[in-house]
Amino acid sequence: MIQTRLKLSYSGFALDVDLQLPGRGVTALFGHSGSGKTTCLRCIAGLEQAGEGFIQVNDEVWQDSSKKIFVPPHKRAVGYVFQEASLFAHLSVLANLEFGLKRIPRQQRRVDMAHATELLGIGHLLDRHAQHLSGGERQRIGIARALLTSPKLLLMDEPLAALDSQRKNEILPYLQRLHDELDIPVLYVSHSQDEVARLADHIVLLSEGKALASGPIGETLARLDLPLALGDDAGVVIQGHVSAYDAGYQLLTLQLPNTALSIRVPHSPMTEGKALRCKVQARDVSLSLHSVEHSSILNRLPVTVVSELGADNAAHVLIRLEADGTPLLARITRYSRDQLGIHPGQQLWAQIKAVAVLA
């Protein structure tokens, strides 16, 4: 468990948060620029000191202003990954990695060189110098260097923000591997909802220095009372299990949690039973009074209308749905809502194009 109570103010900005976060998995600090995400991270790392603060990571107290306790940054077992990797240009990749490894006594090392290089796919880069690396390669080296300090907590401050879309897509699978294979809790700062949807288990929504919400990713993204639902990238995260794979059409069947319902998703081969998460955008969900059998839309789910909210576009509304316990959002026009007579408790069919599912 990670506990943080932080209060500080400077230059017109005030941070006031009180959070209890999971001690495992990936927690995303999400919000617009200036919401306080990086300030939170810097306080946890000890790079800034909250005037009133309490920070405890599992059983270690790093700050308790009421008892005048403040553990300096170099004594906090954190790995910090910045937007820029900041590698030593005059050193090889191997020497950069050894810089992180040598900080930790051998008997306290939880991640070794072979494991870190394999996880990040950088074994073939060890003899290169930093100036001969792409942006994505540099950031993977930076993450590996942070891991080699054997941190009890990994802090990542928008590690993909400086990369173009091609480099982001290159590095995201490696970040997912860290999530799946390492038992190190991660605090991940981002303002990209799609990034957060792919990586995070838990999300904290920050705005103007305050936490508007904190909770599991699936439940929190589906809440209509939060600004998350209003953006064009609004949607839900579904964590299911592969129940079948059609090699001929390269479509897998994803069983939704705790139900017999499933959706089909274009994907590379995966073994049955393997967990997979996907994001379904609200704008990609259409609604019908009946199940339409002969259609190019592969996914048709029986749903119940839960609630409705006006969208950021006056012509649109957001509809919260439940598919046998799995939340969905649909962004449709007000005209369509009125034509279908949509109201809470109504039974409908949600239609989702397979090519629109982000897996």
Pair of tokens at residue 128:
């290169």
Q: C-alpha angle 96/99/103, rounded to 5°?
A: 160
Residue 49 one-letter amino acid: Q
Indicate the burial class of 66 (C-beta count within 10 angstroms; 0-12, 13-18, 19 or more): exposed
> In this predicted structure, what is the pLDDT of residue 27?
94
Q: What is the DSSP string of 73-113?
A: GGGS-EEEE-SS----TTSBHHHHHHHHHTTS-GGG-SS-H
> Residue 333 pairs with which residues in a beta bridge?
316
Give this prediction's pTM: 0.86
Strands 235-246 and 251-255: antiparallel
Nearest-10 crossing angle of helices 165-181, 113-120: 130
- C-beta separation of 96 from 130 below 8 A: yes
pLDDT tens digit string along 193-240? 888 888 899 999 999 899 999 999 988 999 998 888 887 888 999 989
Q: Which CATH architecture has domain 235-356?
A: Beta Barrel (2.40)
Domain boundaries, the chain: 2-230, 235-356
Q: With a cut of 50, list the residues of the chain below it in pLDDT.
A: none
- C-beta separation of 172 from 160 below 8 A: yes
The class level of CATH for 2-230 reads alpha beta
